[in-house]
Amino acid sequence: MRVLIATPDFPLWDGGIATVAYEVAKGLHELDHTVDVLAPAQMDADHDFDLGLPFNVHRIKNVKDHYLKAYYHTFKLDQLVRKHKYDLIMAQSWYPSGIAASRVAKKYGVNMSVTVHGNEILNPRYNSFYWQRKMRAVFRRAKHIFCVSQYTAQKLIDRLGGLSEIDDKIKIVYNGVDFKYFTPSGPDKQLVDKYGLTGNKIILTLARLVERKGHDMVIRALPRIKESIPNVKYIICGKGNYEHTLKDLAASLSLTNDIIFTGFIPNDMRVRYYNSCDLYIMPSREILGKGDIEGFGITYLEANACEKPVIGSNIGGTSEAIIEDVSGFLVNPLDSNEIARKCIDLLSNPALAEKVGVRGRNRIVDEFNWDNICRQIEKMTIVNDITHTK
């Protein structure tokens, strides 16, 4: 089968959609399907990265205008499908890839799927009648709808209230982790030396610096954590528009020397940071006014794959990424005291942290590896579609 993955983000760009698009492309290629990717050029080094891949990546301009973007993606997608006659188009987001895929799939009689991550369907920018009509058209046209969690699936159903024909199309396909890459090892000596971490207990968050991710609540919990664990350091990896707010908060609590802001960390460096921490935390919260939710949370899985215990929030899709008291712990993301207690429990009890971390990795290997996930996708789409067309 020949598959075209249409995505608004792709490595070297960071983020969940980019990661999923790359891993699904690689996984389906390894299952002997011919895979092409249509993605915007976003980084200067994209071309060199693409040359090392075993499948073809067709880069297009990164159009910024929200109206022109969908038309441009449709035009470029049409060119590819007309030339290569794909059997399946997999859109990694309803906008702009799904809009393009739905139009081209209809024109050429090709099956299509669309993946739902969470924020992209709730963004207030798309609340108007114009965009809602576009969104509903995409999900009507899709033969398969992949949601990264039950929570995300319910958000989609709520968002498209009354569109009953989508119910039978929805399939839950969790995100995964390359557990052969994200594997446990000792703390990275270069990072320990760079940040002066010798003798410290390390809490890590690796995420975009936005309000939803909950960095601020960890910072608010840090004074209480320091009362029990005085040698604790909090490492914040990422960039975003919330950085100044977080730094101001840290300064107001006299925590500037206890918190390390690393800036953006490229994908090939992430494992070194996971292996240098004692626990991973991201107490994400819902900001419904901005359409901002945690649909699942790949970083919890990456940290677990490195045998690190994780702490996440008890709302959103996080409760499907973390099993309470097995691979980590769930907390009220708005309760800094509860966050502090869980951090103290893990930092003061290395045996507990190790046990949770080992169970977390075992769960990744058994359930959340991309080999299994891509076989699920293959069975749900390619194999199923062949069966129904015979």
- Residue 21 near residue 92, CB atoms below 8 Å: yes
The H or E element containing residue 357 is helix 350-367
Break the chain into its structural domains and give their ranges.
2-176+369-389, 189-367
Tell me the C-alpha to C-alpha distance, in Å, between residue 234 and each of 221, 294, 328, 350, 355. Answer: 11, 22, 18, 17, 22
The CATH fold of domain 2-176+369-389: Rossmann fold (3.40.50)
Distance CA 285, CA 313 (A): 7
pLDDT of the residue at 384: 59
pLDDT of the residue at 385: 57
DSSP E strand stretches across the chain:
2-6, 34-40, 56-60, 88-91, 111-116, 144-147, 170-172, 201-206, 232-237, 259-263, 279-282, 310-313, 328-331
What is the length of the chain?
390
Structure tokens at 292: 């901002």
- State pLDDT tens for residues 109-163: 999 999 999 889 998 989 999 999 999 999 999 999 999 999 999 999 999 887 7
Distance CA 204, CA 207 (A): 10
* The domains spanning 2-176+369-389 and 189-367 adopt the same CATH topology: yes
- Residue 177 near residue 301, CB atoms below 8 Å: yes
Sign of the Cα pseudo-torsion (158, 160, 161, 164, in order): negative
- Residue 194 near residue 262, CB atoms below 8 Å: no
Distance CA 340, CA 332 (A): 11
Distance CA 232, CA 370 (A): 34
CATH 3.40.190.10 is right for the domain spanning 189-367: no
pLDDT of the residue at 321: 94
Distance CA 309, CA 355 (A): 8
Structure tokens at 184: 């446990």
Using 70 as the pLDDT threshold, list the residues of the chain that sit under it. 383-390
The H or E element containing residue 67 is helix 66-84
- Residue 43 near residue 55, CB atoms below 8 Å: no
